[in-house]
Amino acid sequence: MKSNIKDKILVQIQKAGKKSAAGKHLPEWILGIAVLLMLVFSFSRIMWYNYMIPSVDQKEDILLVEPKLLYGLPVDSFHVEENTVRGGESLSDILTDRGVSSQVIDRIAHLPATVFDLRKMKVGNNYTVFYSRDSIRSPLYFVYAENLVNYYQYSLIFDSCKVVPGKNEVTTERKTATGSINSSLWNAMKENNLDPMLAIRLSDLFAWSIDFFAIQKGDHFVVMYDEESVKGEKIGIGMIHAAVFNSSGQDFFAIHFEQEDGQNYFDEQGRSIRKEFLKAPMKLFRISSRFSGARMHPILRIVRPHHGVDYAAPTGTPVYTIGDGVIITKAYQAGGGGNFLKIKHNSVYTTTYMHLSKFAPGIQTGSRVKQGDLIGYVGSTGLASGPHLDFRVFMNGFPTDPLKLKSPPANPVTDQNMSNFKLERDKLIKELKSAVPKVQSK
């Protein structure tokens, strides 16, 4: 368009020049004014064209503007009300107060509970109502937030009542945490302003190699992990990429690596840190009696062997199986172990859990259990002076000290994956070690 205007100006100047050559002279000042007016007119046309018709780049910018979404719905298209569930308040109460018809409420109440059971709405949880933006403000959607991640969107339109589950986007941020032990791992987390759940994750990760009830002052750790959040609010600990825990001067590594049989954690040599057995069948306890060939029985007052370890804990403390296996005995022994379980793990190892107050739901003779499964609760049934767990391990039918049990590791990194593992290991260990001086200087 710009070039066409320019051509028109040139044509007019040429015509004026021809007329001048033919003897029909125009005053130069008139010709100058005419040219100036034509230039001003063409410039104004160009400016108007640029203002009214966006360029290609401008069009792209307009197309890239995305609406702000809340629970998958465009906020600008609705009037939005956010609130929380109050004590004694049901979904029917909430919707009735907002003008939803009884027919719609009835339809919603009869939606499949397999998606979400409305009776499980919790006091204090958030909900959001989306209304039309017109003067009537009809309620169109109800969204219940089960937590920061999961929500359920209900359509309040009579002909299309339905519930759709959804998830808010979870963002992750790589973090590195360090700490030194002064009293306990839990307190170390608090002293370093770390998420206390990180203590549980670390104790689970190193459960096969470190006795966390025996860690000492000066022990220290470094852990690299993902911190998860929703809309800027922290919701927990994600995957742990790598960790090193120094206990009594020895480094224990956990390197995350994935191969054909799934994701696992390995030490620096590529051996799985997941042993066949947990270090202990309980998470909270104190050892009140150890394995012995001659112990004074606290009730019978006679010396006899004690082929187990007594873990003292309050009645009701959860008890877990230390490894995969099959329950071969579930019984009650009045003059001895009280409620007890015997689990066969393989052709070599069997474990026994005695004096239980009760068994976990579903525990029966012949039941298969996985490592860490809840099997019962601490008690004082049978011949016991107080609540505790008498835990015993048998190897090839002979009693062995549970505290000295050395169980074999799970599958290591395979030969074909070793080169990739070493690359990942070297990178992660370098990052871990770079933070160690910070720990030791504290």
| Residue 212 resides in a domain | yes
**Residues 197, 270 share a domain:** yes
Looking up residue 428, the CATH number of its domain turns out to be 3.10.450.350
pLDDT (0 to 100) of residue 16:
53
Helix (H, G, I), strand (E, B) or coil at 406: coil
Those residues whose C-beta lies under 8 Å from the C-beta of residue 254, and which sit 6 or more positions away, are: 205, 206, 240, 242, 243, 244, 245, 265, 266, 267, 273
pLDDT (0 to 100) of residue 292:
63
Question: Which single residue is written with the structure tokens 């003897």?
Answer: 23
Among 57-66, 67-76, 380-389, the least confident range: 57-66
Q: Per-residue pLDDT tens for 100-109? A: 999 999 999 8
| Residue 162 resides in a domain | yes
Q: Per-residue pLDDT tens for 80-102? A: 999 999 998 989 999 999 999 99
Neighbours of 252 (CB within 10 A): 18
pLDDT at position 6 over 60 = no
Q: Per-residue pLDDT tens for 125-153? A: 999 999 999 988 999 999 999 999 999 99
pLDDT (0 to 100) of residue 407:
67
**Residues 94, 126 share a domain:** yes
**Residues 124, 87 share a domain:** yes
The pTM of the whole model exceeds 0.95: no
Residue type, 264: N
**Residues 386, 293 share a domain:** yes
**Residues 317, 245 share a domain:** no
| Residue 28 resides in a domain | yes
| Residue 221 resides in a domain | yes
pLDDT (0 to 100) of residue 265:
92
**Residues 200, 126 share a domain:** no
End residue of a domain, out of 167, 200, 217: 167
Q: What is the spatial distance between Cα 389 and Cα 369, in angstroms, rounded to a whole number?
A: 19
End residue of a domain, out of 143, 167, 191: 167
Full residue range of the structural domain in which residue 45 is found: 2-61
**Residues 140, 186 share a domain:** no
**Residues 98, 162 share a domain:** yes
| Residue 281 resides in a domain | no
Q: Per-residue pLDDT tens for 218-261? A: 999 999 999 999 988 898 899 999 999 998 889 999 999 998 87
pLDDT (0 to 100) of residue 232:
86
* Mean pLDDT of the 29-33 span: 63
C-beta of residue 383 within 8 angstroms of C-beta of residue 336 = yes
Specify the length of the chain in residues.
442
Largest interatomic CA distance in the chain: 144
C-beta of residue 254 within 8 angstroms of C-beta of residue 205 = yes
C-beta of residue 339 within 8 angstroms of C-beta of residue 356 = yes
pLDDT at position 364 over 70 = yes
**Residues 320, 418 share a domain:** no
End residue of a domain, out of 115, 141, 167: 167
Question: If you ran DSSP here, which 8-state letter would residue 2 be given?
Answer: H
**Residues 380, 297 share a domain:** yes
C-beta of residue 282 within 8 angstroms of C-beta of residue 317 = yes
Q: Compute CA 425 distance to the chain's CA centroid, rounded to the nearest angstrom.
A: 24
